[in-house]
Amino acid sequence: MSDKITISEKDKKILRELGEWKAKASETAENKEKIKAWQAHDEGVPGARVMVRAETWYTSDPKHTVNESDLLCEAEWARKLERNLRFRKHEIEVLKDDSFVLPYIAYDPHISKGDFGIPSGIHRVSGAEKMAFNYQPALKTLDDSEFNRIHFRELKWDKGADEQKGELLAEIFSGLLPVRRKLDSWQFNMAMTSTAFDFVGLDGFMMLIYDNPEGLHRLMRFIKDDHLRYVRFLEENGLLNLNNEDDYIGSGCMGCSKLLPAPDFKGKVRTKDLWYYCESQESVSISPDHYGEFVFPYIKELAELFGRVYYGCCEPVDPVWKYISTIKNLQRVSISPWAKEDVMGKNCWERKLVYSRKMPPAFFMAKEFNENDGLRKAIEHTVACAEGARLEFMLRDIYTLQNDPDRFRRWVELVREGGAKHKG
């Protein structure tokens, strides 16, 4: 069992004040309108408006929206919760995007996943940019001797630690907000190709397609089976929870939906009651047909266990659409800055999918914020390409705003203005 969590009275007071804000914010007419708008958007209700979210988590400018210096709690556990609440408060009150809140406090179950028996292949150099790394993979040939070195992760759930955390949160927010144990979406999804690259490296993955295709298939099956074991572990221990409310599914997608859980739901959450997020950004380094052979079958097998699926992140999906489009429960698709918007607009319209547009970061990270020419035209272009499809705009992966955080707020205004012309 984990060490007992301790928290000062000062930290409790800070968190309780934020809890008071969340409780009041959840009851506002504006908050309730956003929930209804997300549900209508998800259902494809005629006339449903364009949705917009601005993620500010990545930005590291000194004038960033919520900085470490803005956090008042002292205990790291308390600071993490404070950080999440302050980010959401900023999104709602300052950015005025379509973020919303519900009247409860959530905490993650305490799950440890163990390792695969080999060291990570990701290698970073001391002092280098934090996003920079290369691969020094532990596996190279994928022969029997290398497979003998790896094993499924050991999964453990510390129920006692969960109970302790739940009791402490219930004490802090007593009379204000109920407390829920809720699996964070990032604990739930697995980037399969990212894991494969961690094992064999980028160059190694590409060479194994030719040098040992059966070994590469064996590795992808292993990764898929490991993730399936994890999903079943969560299901068997009652750790799955519905993710159709104010839940972040991944890559900007909000899970707000009245179409989940499945119609035969009776209280015990199953995979078919849930959203699932999957992507394969690393597959841009291989051909579409190699993606279809070595990656997609394993993604699809997992994805189709779930109720609704959101696919994609920064990769362009149009080159591999002939594969992705076969996911029977696909509902939303990430349209990255590298996608062919007109092609994907037609594809989303034909399949009645949500066109989830990720705006190019260059508009926001440039020295000059050119809203009247480049940005407005980009929004207009997206609106035109997505005609007939449901449309949402996501802003994320912005690492600098040239110390001008107001660009986020202004972007939300511009999308609202341009989105009003969309014909869904």
Confidence at residue 167, expressed as pLDDT on a 0 to 100 scale: 95
Name the residue type at position 374: G
Question: Is 51 part of a structural domain of the chain?
Answer: yes
Residue 384 maps to which CATH number? 3.20.20
The percentage of the chain sitting over the pLDDT mark of 70, rounded to a whole number, equals 99
Give me 157's structure tokens: 């759930």
Report the percentage of the chain scoring pLDDT > 90. 83
Q: Which two tokens stand for residue 50?
A: 């364009």
Let me know if residue 34 belongs to a domain: yes
| Residue 146 domain flag | yes
How far apart, in whole angstroms, are the C-alpha atoms of residue 410 and residue 397? 17
Can you give the pLDDT at residue 346? Answer: 98
Do the domain assignments include residue 3? no
In a domain, 378, yes or no: yes
Provide the pLDDT for residue 184.
82
The answer to the question of residue 209 being in a domain is yes
Digit-coded pLDDT (tens) for 262-314: 999 999 999 999 999 999 999 999 999 999 999 999 999 999 999 999 999 99
Integer Cα distance of 218 and 239 in angstroms: 29
Q: For the residues 83-91, what does the mean pLDDT come to?
A: 94
Task: List the domain range (segments joined by +) for residue 384.
Answer: 9-419
What is the C-alpha to C-alpha distance for residues 344 and 389, in angstroms, rounded to an integer? 10
State mean pLDDT over 116-138.
Answer: 90
**Can you tell me whether residue 56 is helix, strand or coil?**
coil
Selection from 282, 279, 227, 281 nearest residue 249 by Cα: 279
424 assigned to some structural domain:
no
Q: How many domains does the chain have?
A: 1
1-58 pLDDT, tens per residue? 456 778 899 999 999 999 999 999 999 999 999 999 999 999 999 999 999 999 888 7
Crossing angle for the helix pair 213-236 and 192-200, nearest 10 degrees?
130
pLDDT number for residue 3: 66
- The pLDDT of 375-390, averaged and rounded, is 96
Calculate mean pLDDT across residues 111-133: 90
Q: What is the pLDDT of residue 2?
A: 58
**Quick one: tokens of 16?**
């309780």
SS3 (DSSP) at 354: strand
Provide the pLDDT for residue 383. Answer: 97
- Could you tell me if residue 397 is inside a domain? yes
Q: What is the pLDDT of residues 155-205, one digit of tens each?
A: 999 999 999 999 999 999 999 999 999 998 766 777 899 999 999 999 999
Residue 219: band (very low, low, confident or very high) from pLDDT cuts 50, 70, 90? very high
How far apart, in whole angstroms, are the C-alpha atoms of residue 162 and residue 237? 13
How confident is residue 409, by pLDDT bands cut at 50, 70 and 90? very high
pLDDT for the residue 201 = 96
Q: Give, in order, the Cα–Cα distances in Å from 132 to each of 125, 147, 313, 337.
A: 8, 29, 19, 21
pLDDT > 70? residue 376: yes
Residue 22's pLDDT is what?
Answer: 98
Q: Using alpha carbons, select from 341, 411, 351 the residue that is nearest to residue 376.
A: 411
Range 192-220 average pLDDT: 97
Supply the pLDDT for residue 404: 87
Q: What is the pLDDT of residue 358?
A: 96
Quote the mean pLDDT of the chain: 94
